[in-house]
Amino acid sequence: MTRPAAAVSNVSLERRAWNIRRKALLMGEVQGQGYIGQALGVADVLATSYFHAMDWRADDPEWEGRDRFYLSIGHYAIALYAALMEAGILPEEELATYGMDDSRMPMSGMASYTPGMEITGGSLGHGLGIAVGAALGLKRKRSDRVVYNLMSDGELGEGSTWEAVMSAVQWKLDNLICLVDFNNQQADGPSRDALAQVPEAPKWEAFGWHAQEVDGNDLSALVAAFDTARALPEPKPRVIICNTRMCKGVDFLEAREQNHFVRVEPDEWARALDRLEEGKPQ
Amino acid sequence: MTHASKARKYEPRKVPEGKLVATSAMIASLAAEGYDTVPAPFGHALVEAAQGDPRIVGLSADLSKYTDLHVFANAMPERFYQMGMAEQLLFSAAAGLAREGFIPFATTYAVFAARRAYDFIAMAIAEENLPVKIACALPGLTTGYGPSHQATEDLAIFRGLPDMVLIDPCDACDVAGMVPAMIAHPGPVYARLLRGKVPSVLTRHKPDYRFELGRAQMIREGRDVLVISSGIMTMRALDAAEVLAKDGIDVAVLHTPTIKPLDTETILAEAGRGGRLVVTAENHSVNGGLGEAVAATLLQAGVTPGFRMIGLPDAFLEAGALPTLHDMYGLSVERVAERIRGWL
């Protein structure tokens, strides 16, 4: 399968994912808190999106020929900022302003603040519906670009998600790829104890989607799943359910039971960066 | 256990003698006798605008036939999106189309936009100032179906939303005229919609009348009372003014179809011309609509004429035939005239 221009690089995906994790940790250290668990968990999905599957231009984030990336989960902004810095869309020098007054990188993602942040997420269950409209719009324009919508397992509980799921099938949106970050952690506990009890892939298949379920922290599995989704000839929308591990890459944080909003003590940030350093790929 | 908070109406009824008045909820004619009507002015105006503008697309949530969007759908089927009975999706998808450079007109009933899809209109559309045009039928008390379909608080809900322009048209001329104005405005617009056979009112009273976004216009001059009205209540006020003229009461009617941004300049200038009782009239709850907006405008400017409000009560309204309900809640011509007479 052809690689988009933006994906041509001599930096490995492993290193891209590691860089995203490191930048997210540095931003977390600035604020002393944050959704660092989600950022570490989803880093491999973001690395695959930006450095394998999608086309974009660092100097022109609104380039008409780009693939669209919607972050439905506004609180994952810290992760996307890290990816946008790795992509050169955001300058790395601004990293220290994360969450500060007058920063371009607020705690929850907003389209009007940040180059490359396509939508204002955060009120959960919005991204996939907007993505349906954008995918319809791209088809109207005879564009072959793809809309990626990154959502969380918690958003599977929002009814609006399923309105969009049905509509994407109705309109045969083969230019829509939904990425579900399934880390089984929402604010009050495991998603499987809330509304995500039933296995996900068969549910989406029953609605008419092409569904894949992968280890979302296995880069080669992600690459294969993205390639399958992109190359599929069938006129239907595609979903990749990415089973990820919160805090992936920092073992002592991974072990914490309650990690939706990770408490990291001031002295632990340096330790977390040290632990990450030990796993640094070439 | 019985529901104690609300009076029930369970007692059996007798069939009364004489002619029964049916609900006729969805196609109720709003006009008093004698007004001409125009069929589906919104649908036809949209087709006309879209012929010269490929950015315009239409979406509905299973209510295209009841919002006159079917006229557009029939004329330009490839530009119409049936989104199914899913209002959250309707407005999210409209936002997505707007992101890709289109000007989507999204239609449903006012209750479903204001109550069911508010968060999606607020965050996906208004917060990003996207040019989505929302046109909603059955505003205020224009159906006898009861509170499920009566949007008595839609303007109050949307007045709190930054960057949203609000239009409450009076007649076919307003509805046709607001369509190009909505397109010309670069941001989001919420318009109440009159559909089906829509009466033609304003040009009969003022032949050169044309809708202008953000502008209140004097339709009828008068020395004793200044009615500041929007929507179908301008029609009621004009009819009531003719009734009152026979009693020697001279009523001016300032039509204010744009609720937000409000034409405060004209309102202050007219209300500041002393000696007239100021009466607001709206097809909406007295909470948070035109009346309170005008009151705040006057008080902040230190303009304090005698002031009264005509509008729907702060209540869930009854079901029934529209003429009965308009009489019951004070929106009929007779009730408007009677109340103004009583205040003088």
- For A226-241, letters b (16+ CB in 10 Å) and e give beebbeeeeebbbbbb
| Per-residue pLDDT at B2 | 53
Q: For residue B272, give the nearest of B300, B229, B297, B304 by alpha carbon.
A: B304
> Is B338 within a domain?
yes
Could you give the C-alpha distances from B63 to B46, B70, B106, B109, B183, in angstroms and in order? 16, 9, 10, 8, 21
Last residue in a domain, options B169, B199, B229: B199
DSSP 8-state assignment for residue B15: P
Helical (H) or strand (E) element with B103:
strand B103-109
CATH number of the domain that B77 lies in? 3.40.50.970
Question: Cα dihedral sign for A106, A109, A112, A115?
Answer: positive
What Cα–Cα distance (Å) separates residue A102 from each residue in A107, A156, B29, B52, B246?
Answer: 12, 33, 54, 42, 64
B19 assigned to some structural domain = no
Residue B264 CB partners (closer than 8 Å, separation 6+): B297, B301
Residue of B nearest to A158 (CA): B88
Burial B167-187 (b: 16+ CB within 10 A, else e): bbbbbbbbbbbbbbbbbebee
Task: Decide if B152 contacts B330 (C-beta within 8 A).
Answer: no
Contacts of A107 (CB under 8 A, 6+ apart): A31, A34, A75, A77, A78, A99
Contacts of B3-8 with CB under 8 Å at 24 or more apart are none
Smallest Cα distance from A62 to chain B, Å = 11
Same-domain status, B193 and B298: no
- Residue A204 CA to residue B234 CA, distance in Å, equals 51
| Residues B151 and B255 occupy one common structural domain | no
CATH number at residue B305: 3.40.50.920
CB contact under 8 A, A133 and B95: yes
pLDDT of amino acid A281: 92
> By the 8 A CB rule, do B125 and B132 touch?
yes
| pLDDT value, residue B11 | 86
User: In terms of domains, do B119 and B66 share one?
Assistant: yes
Q: Which of residues 76-135 of B touch A (CB under 8 A)?
A: 81, 83-84, 86, 88-89, 91-102, 104, 119-120, 123-124, 127-128
> Same structural domain for residues B141 and B255?
no
**What average pLDDT does the segment A7-15 reach?**
92
Q: Do A119 and B128 touch (CB under 8 A)?
A: yes
* Inter-chain residue contact A137 with B119, CB threshold 8 Å: no
d(CA A102, CA A107): 12
Distance from CA of B95 to the nearest CA of A (A): 6
* Closest C-alpha to A43, from A262, B115, A35: A35
Residues from chain B that touch A66, judged by Cβ atoms under 8 A, are none
Residues of B in contact with A171 (CB under 8 A): 81
Shared domain for B114 and B260, answered yes or no, is no
Mark whether B182 and B226 lie in a shared domain.
no
Residues B240 and B328 occupy one common structural domain: yes
Same-domain pairing of B189 and B242? no
Q: Show which residues on chain A lie within 8 Å of chain B, measured between beta carbons.
A: 110-112, 118-120, 122-123, 125-126, 128-138, 140-141, 159-160, 163-164, 166-167, 170-171
Q: Are residues B227 and B192 in the same domain?
A: no
Chain B environment of A126 (Cβ under 8 Å): 92, 119-120, 123-124
Question: Is position B260 within any domain?
Answer: yes
What does pLDDT average to in each consecutive run of 10 residues of chain B (344 residues)?
A: 66 81 58 84 98 98 97 98 98 98 98 98 98 98 93 98 98 98 98 95 97 98 98 97 97 98 98 95 98 98 97 95 94 97 97
- At residue A30, the pLDDT reads 87
For residue B228, being part of any structural domain is answered with yes
Q: Give A134→chain B minimum CA distance, Å.
A: 4
Peptide bond into A106 cis (omega under 30): no
Assigned token pair, A26: 């540095």
**Lookup result for tokens 């702060």:** B314
With 60 as the cut, is the pLDDT of residue A79 above it? yes
A interface mutation test: which of B100, B120, B129 has the most A CBs within 10 A? B100
What pLDDT score does A68 carry? Answer: 98
Candidates A66, A128, A140, A173, partner chain B, best to mutate (most B CBs within 10 A) = A140
Q: Describe the strand order of the beta sheet including B56-60 as a list of residue ranges.
A: B80-82, B56-60, B103-109, B133-137, B189-192, B165-167, B258-260
Torsion, Cα B220 B224 B226 B231, to 10 degrees, reads -60
Cβ count near B224 (within 10 Å) = 15
- Give dist(CA B295, CA B299) in Å, integer: 6
Q: What domains lie within chain A, and their CATH numbers?
A: 12-278 (3.40.50.970)
Q: From CA A269, how far away is CA A33, in angstroms rounded?
A: 10
Residue A8 confidence (pLDDT)? 85
Within 8 A of A123 by CB-CB distance, chain B residues are 119, 123
Q: CB distance A129–B101 less than 8 Å?
A: no
Contacts of B128 in chain A (CB under 8 A): 111-112, 119-120
CA closest to B127 among chain A residues: A120
In this structure, the answer to whether residues B191 and B263 fall within a common structural domain is no
CA distance B340 to B249: 9
Tell which of B165, B199, B233 closes a domain. Answer: B199
Residue B224 lies in a domain: yes
Cα distance between residue B286 and residue A65, in whole Å: 50
- In contact, B171 and B194? CB cutoff 8 Å: yes
Angle between helices A219-231 and A36-48 (to 10 degrees): 50
Say whether both B271 and B336 belong to one domain. yes
| Chain A residues closer than 8 Å to B57 by CB | 140
Distance between CA atoms of residues B80 and B89, nearest Å: 15
B315 is a domain residue:
yes
In a domain, B162, yes or no: yes
Helix (H, G, I), strand (E, B) or coil at B62: coil
How close, in Å, is residue A170 to chain B by CA atoms?
A: 9
Check whether residue B189 and residue B41 sit in a common domain: yes
> pLDDT tens-digit profile of A139-184?
999 999 999 999 999 999 999 999 999 999 999 999 999 999 999 9
Closest chain B residue to A136 measured between Cα atoms?
B97
* Domain end among B199, B229, B251: B199
Which residues of chain B make contact with A111, given a CB cutoff of 8 A?
128
pLDDT value at residue B27: 45
Q: Is A280 left (phi over 0), alpha (psi -120 to 50) or beta?
A: beta
**Within the 17-76 window of chain B, which residues sit less than 8 Å (CB to CB) from chain A?**
57
Q: Is residue B247 part of a domain?
A: yes
Q: What are the backbone angles phi and psi of residue B251, rounded to the nearest 5°?
A: -110, 125
Q: How far is B137 from chain A (nearest CA, A)?
A: 22
Partner residue opposite A134 with nearest CB, options B88, B99, B120: B99
Residues of B in Cβ contact (< 8 Å) with A128: 92
Q: How many domains does chain B have?
A: 2
Structure tokens at A2: 């052809």
Q: What range does the domain containing B154 cover?
A: 37-199
Residue A56's contacts (CB-CB under 8 Å, 6 or more residues apart) are: A6, A50, A63, A66, A67, A87, A89, A116
- The count of C-alpha atoms lying within 13 angstroms of the C-alpha of A182, restricted to the half-sphere facing its C-beta, is 23
Closest by CA position to A182, among listed A42, A46, A48: A42
State the pLDDT confidence band at A189, using cuts at 50, 70 and 90: confident
Which of A145, A160, A161, A170 to probe by mutation at the B interface, max B CB count within 10 Å?
A: A160
Nearest to B93 among A122, A132, A159 (CB): A132
Number of CB pairs, chain A paired with chain B, less than 8 A apart: 95
